[in-house]
Amino acid sequence: MSESAQKTGGWRSNKWVRAAIPALLLHCSIGTVYCWSLFSQEIADYIGFSKESTEWAFSFAIFFLGMSAAFLGNIVEKDIHKSSLIATICFAAGMALTGFFIYYGGQNKGNVLALIGIYVSYGFIMGVGLGTGYLSPVKTLMLWFQDRKGLATGLAVAGFGAAKAIASPIMTAMLDGLGEGGIYKMFLILAAVYFVMMFVGHLLLAKPAGWHEPQGKGEKPSIMATIKTKPIANYIGIWLMFYINITCGLALISQEKMIFKCLGFAGIAGILSTVSAVFNAGGRLGFSSWADTMKDRNTIYKLIFVLSIAFTAIVMLTKGIETGAGNMLLAVIVLALVYIVNAGYGGGFSNVPTLLSDHYGMGSISAIHGITLSAWAFAGLTGNQVASLIVKNTGSYQFMYNKILYAEEAAAKAAALAGGVSEADLSNAISKVNPVGYQNVLIFTVILYVIALFCCLFLVKPTDKALEAKKAKKA
């Protein structure tokens, strides 16, 4: 759409009002799914179940996010108003119902109906809202910002990543300030807030007036026909490297707070996690904007995987997680790994729709992007779960106080008391950690990162644009 057409149309033809702002309203709402770790233990205690049992609600939410995006991509393609409304209703309803089942669980501790209700509400219903809400603004942004597609999608997806950093202190304050039953009250209040935000985004979201959406069968090929315009190995490579990047990201991010504690940073673990969220959001915007300047966006993925492999290898060789407590250099290296993985995790999300559009065009991009997000669904069931399995079955749990590990909790408590810690503050002063287990997670991630790099190099072929630029350079 030309600049003059945008100016004459007023706010109805303004790309910021019709694409960027609604995308941020939608993604800053649904991105709060990543705040689960803040209150999962509190939910478990309130309803009378173990933390491991409640953790599945988050895994189900990510699974159904990916699967709803895969199966509802065609609806997004045909009607973004319908899809954004579905997202608004499902996300807000899922959050409100989660609050109700937490309340029910508090009144009937240990009742399995409460746990199943949370799985269905937070996992399935919210998951559908997540998938359709994630997809709805992406194609619209690329249509409005055709010259800077990476910047546009990075802006929206950065909102998804930044949501945790924005919402975390608000949620923490609400949990502290709402008193008895604050956990379910928080869900009910936020359900109303996010409904309003997303509904406004739904009303504003619109494609450019000049965009002609292919409709007929002869005019718009099937999704598989579109994918087959390139060697099928090309799409498999994109899917695999996307899946691996998410799996490795979730494996490390799910353990990052405990890794910070292994380094002796228990007191500032929350602050360090907020910095992680900033890197996550920054990677989404930074890597995608950078990709706009490149002939082949796949170069960004090569960079992400090379950096991830290099820093993982350094931490493995130095055993930084095991021996980083009290050693500032090793601690900084481990922190660098966590932040690079966060940035690369975010950058992988923001670059995949633009990479797909470069390879397969804009005609069916929402549907193809939706199918590709199935990688997120399966990564949600493998990344953090495999990491937890490794930590649980390798190494051994120890107790840390003041950067020193103790085999027995009694010894750690005695040291804390001798160091002047009060009885009331003991639980906050002592961390139960498994440094060897967290270190072993890196073996799993580095192997996968190497496989992902091979996918980048040998399966995902350069785009036509990149090949033409290469020929022109040689000429």
Contacts of residue 428, defined as CB under 8 A and 6 or more positions apart, other chains included, come to 266
Domain ranges of the chain: 13-204, 231-396+434-475
Residues 442, 272: Cα–Cα separation, whole Å: 20
Residues 113, 111: Cα–Cα separation, whole Å: 5
Average pLDDT, the chain: 87
What is the three-class DSSP state of 401?
A: strand
What is the three-class DSSP state of 397?
A: coil
Mean pLDDT, residues 291-296: 86
Task: For residue 72, give the nearest of 369, 352, 351, 377 by alpha carbon.
Answer: 369
8 A C-beta contact, residue 205 and residue 81: yes
Which residue type sits at 234? N
3-state secondary structure 280-298: HHHHHHHHHHHHCCCCCCH
Q: Which helix (H) or strand (E) element contains residue 43?
A: helix 36-47
Residues 314, 308: Cα–Cα separation, whole Å: 10
Q: How do residues 400-446 score in pLDDT, each as one tens digit? A: 888 889 898 899 999 989 888 888 888 778 888 899 999 999 999 99
Residues 81, 159: Cα–Cα separation, whole Å: 20
Confidence of residue 213 (pLDDT cuts 50, 70, 90): low
Torsion of CA 194, 374, 252, 293, to 10 degrees: -90
Residues 350, 155: Cα–Cα separation, whole Å: 8
Third-level CATH fold of 231-396+434-475: Growth Hormone; Chain: A; (1.20.1250)
Q: How high is the pLDDT of residue 475?
A: 57
8 A C-beta contact, residue 136 and residue 26: yes
Which residue type sits at 240? L
Q: How high is the pLDDT of residue 271?
A: 85
C-alpha neighbours within 13 Å on the C-beta side of residue 44: 16
Task: For residue 282, give the nearest of 337, 344, 333, 332 by alpha carbon.
Answer: 344
Q: Which helix (H) or strand (E) element contains residue 398?
A: strand 398-401
Are 13-204 and 231-396+434-475 in the same CATH fold? yes
Q: How do residues 152-203 score in pLDDT, each as one tens digit? A: 788 777 888 778 888 888 998 898 889 888 999 999 999 999 999 999 999 9
Phi, psi for residue 402 in degrees, rounded to 5: 55, 45
Task: State which of 96-105, 132-141, 223-232, 322-331 shows the largest mean pLDDT.
Answer: 96-105
Task: State which of 16-30, 222-236, 327-341 shows the largest mean pLDDT.
Answer: 327-341
Residue 17: both structure tokens together = 């009002």
Task: For residue 343, give the nearest of 130, 138, 162, 133 by alpha carbon.
Answer: 162
Percent of the chain with pLDDT over 90: 46
Torsion of CA 407, 412, 415, 416, to 10 degrees: 160
Phi, psi for residue 177 in degrees, rounded to 5: -95, -15
Q: How do residues 18-61 score in pLDDT, each as one tens digit? A: 888 999 999 999 999 988 877 888 999 999 998 888 988 988 99
Third-level CATH fold of 13-204: Growth Hormone; Chain: A; (1.20.1250)
8 A C-beta contact, residue 281 and residue 158: yes
Q: How do residues 39-51 score in pLDDT, each as one tens digit? A: 888 999 999 998 8
Residues 397, 437: Cα–Cα separation, whole Å: 8
Residues 87, 276: Cα–Cα separation, whole Å: 27
Residues 165, 134: Cα–Cα separation, whole Å: 18
Residues 14, 361: Cα–Cα separation, whole Å: 24
Residue 321: both structure tokens together = 């997680």
What is each CA distance from 319 to 168, 294, 433, in whole angstroms?
Answer: 31, 36, 15
Burial environment of residue 160 by CB neighbours within 10 A (0 to 12, 13 to 18, 19 or more): buried
What is the three-class DSSP state of 404?
A: strand
The full DSSP string for 77-141 is: HH-HHHHHHHHHHHHHHHHHHHHHHHHHHHHSTT-HHHHHHHIIIIIIIHHHHHHHHHHHHHHHH
What is the three-class DSSP state of 14?
A: coil
